[in-house]
Chains A and B, each alone.
Chain A
């Protein structure tokens, strides 16, 4: 069964410090990994996905299949980055039928102090 683990429920850093939110997954097939974010009083929204290999709001995440990890990183945290972050996995068959359901980790609450 697929599983996503976010070991830290809470993470606090100071503004300007680097931040890394950890995510490990277990899945036997070819996963698609995502990071979703929920800011205060806002809805859950996609932050980035591994297939895009892009940087959003200064955040990056690299899929490491050897370590089955998809850690989210930002070199200089900002106060507006304070939010709940969820790592999520979706099963995807290359060239076949896709399944969109997401398996989420428990989430990490990031607080960036001024």
Chain B
């Protein structure tokens, strides 16, 4: 079974440009999460999709970030315009189902390293 995949693995852009990150979760997983690790800091939650709906976007830093999940399959995270402080590693994770009474294991992708110059 293929794991969570992310594209690209690395992206180097200049301040003010736009970048779109993509995440393909494990097939059949309803839950999709985006996290970010800025250098020297902890991994922080950005948002959570349940199928195609945004369940929780409390971690999105500002309106320069836009996440979508078309048809409840893959997800994109667009940063427009990018700023220097957006540099970091962006992780995607997925888990099987929106269940009650517990938390499914999250399976992480390899991450996308974004560098904004």
Q: Which residues of A contact B (CB under 8 A)?
A: 4, 32, 36, 43-46, 49, 51, 86, 90, 92-107
Contacts and interface: CB of A to CB of B under 8 A. Distances in A.
B108 A44 contact: yes
A50 B107 CA distance: 17
A44 B48 CA distance: 18
B102 A51 contact: yes
Interface of B: 3-4, 31, 33, 35, 41-45, 48, 56, 59, 91, 95, 98-111
Given A43-B3, A49-B105, A86-B43, A100 B100 contact: no
Nearest to B105: A46
B45 A92 contact: no
B101 A100 contact: no
Nearest to B31: A100
B82 to A, nearest CB: 24
B102 A102 contact: no
B59 A104 contact: no
B111 A90 contact: no
Given A43-B3, A43-B109, A92-B103, A100 B95 contact: yes
Contact of A98 (B3, B91, B99): B99
A102 B108 CA distance: 12
A46 B111 CA distance: 15
Contacts of B42: 4, 86, 104-107
B108 A43 contact: yes
B101 A44 contact: no
A94 B59 CA distance: 24
Given A90-B103, A102-B33, A106-B42, 5 more contacts: A43-B3, A95-B100, A101-B33, A101-B56, A104-B43
